[in-house]
Amino acid sequence: MTQPLLMPKATAVWLVDNTALSFEQIAAFCTLHPLEVQGIADGDVAGGIMGVNPIQNGQLTREEIEKAEADPNYRLKLSEPKVRVAAAKRKGPRYTPISRRNERPNAIKWLVRNHPELKDAQIMRLVGTTKSTIESVRESTHWNAANLTAMDPVTLGLCSQIDLDLEVKRASKGGPGVDEAYEGTTLMTAEEAMARSGSRGHSEQEGEEFAEGDHRPHSPAQEEFDADSVFAKLKSLKSDTDN
C-alpha cells in the first residue's frame, strides 16, 4: 500500500516554484484542485506556507519530475518509501505554548478565510481554542477584531502542516472525525454530575434487588431426582425401624 503524500499543499508550493509542471499535473499529484494550484502560483492561496521538496523526503525522484515535464499528459507517481513511520495518535486537546496563545485569533481568521469548509471542531483541534472564540472571529465581534491579521497556523507553530492537510482532507471528503464533538472544552455541571450519580445509584440498587430475588426455577429433571432420593431415604428409614 502506497503511503500518502506528506504535506500536499507545501509540496505543491515547491513544485510550482521549482518545476515546469502544469497545474493539472501538480493538482493530480498533490490531490488538489487545479484552480487551487493556480491560486498558489498567483499568490492568492497558501500564503506563508513554505515549500517542501518532495525529492529530499523521498516521495519523488528528479527523473520522475523530468519525465512529467516532457509529457504534459503524464501523471507523477509517488515513490515507495524506504522507511514507514506510523503516525502518532494524539489524545486530548492540543497544548499551545504560552508565547503563541495570543496568536490564536489570527490563526482562526486565516483558517476561516482560507478553509471555510472546516468545522468548528476541527479548528478547535488544530489551534486549541474554543467555539465561542471562533464564532467571535468569524462574526468580527472579537474584542480585538480591528487588529487581527490572518496568519497561517503552521507558520505560527500552532499546528503541523500534516495535521492541517489531514483536517482539510477530512472536511472536503466528509471523512470521520469531521462532525465529532471536541472533548475537553466543556465541563459537566454540578447538577448533571449529581443527576448522573443518582441515576447510577438507583440502577445499582435495582441490580442488587434483582440479584437477591433471582431464584432460578428447578428443572423437571432436578425435581425428579430430588423426589427419588427422598423416597429412597424413607425406605431405608422404614427398614431400619422394622429391624
C-beta of residue 58 within 8 angstroms of C-beta of residue 81: yes
Q: Percentage of the chain surpassing pLDDT 90?
A: 18
Is residue 202 within 8 A of residue 147, CB to CB? The reply is no
Q: Is the pLDDT of residue 190 over 60?
A: no
In this prediction, residue 108 has a pLDDT band, given cuts at 50, 70 and 90, of very high
Residue ranges per structural domain of the chain: 8-70, 98-173
CA 230 to chain centroid, in Å, comes to 68
DSSP class of residue 235 equals H
Least confident of 10-24, 30-44, 219-233: 219-233
Structure confidence at residue 96 as a pLDDT band (50, 70, 90) = low
- What pLDDT score does 135 carry? 92
Average pLDDT over residues 223-227: 52
- Helix, strand, coil share of the chain (percent; to 5): 55, 0, 45
With a CB cutoff of 8 Å and minimum separation 6, the contacts of 15 are 21, 26, 29, 30, 51, 54
* pLDDT digit string, tens, across residues 118-159: 999 999 998 888 899 999 999 989 888 888 888 888 888 888
More confident residue, 168 or 204: 168
Tell which wins on pLDDT, 213 or 73.
Answer: 73
pLDDT number for residue 97: 56
Ramachandran region of residue 230, left (φ > 0), alpha (ψ -120 to 50) or beta? alpha
> Could you tell me the pTM of the whole model?
0.40
Q: Are residues 130 and 94 in contact, defined by beta-carbon separation less than 8 angstroms?
A: no
Q: What is each CA distance from 18 to 12, 15, 153, in whole angstroms?
A: 10, 5, 24
Q: Which one has a higher pLDDT value, 66 or 86?
A: 66
pLDDT at site 14: 92
Poorest-pLDDT segment among 59-68, 88-97, 177-186, 197-206: 177-186
Q: What is the mean pLDDT of the chain?
A: 74
DSSP state of 206: H
Q: Could you tell me the sign of the dihedral formed by the alpha carbons of 109, 110, 113, 119, in that order?
A: negative
Mean pLDDT, rounded, for 102-111: 89
pLDDT surpassing 60 at residue 223: no
pLDDT for the residue 224:
47
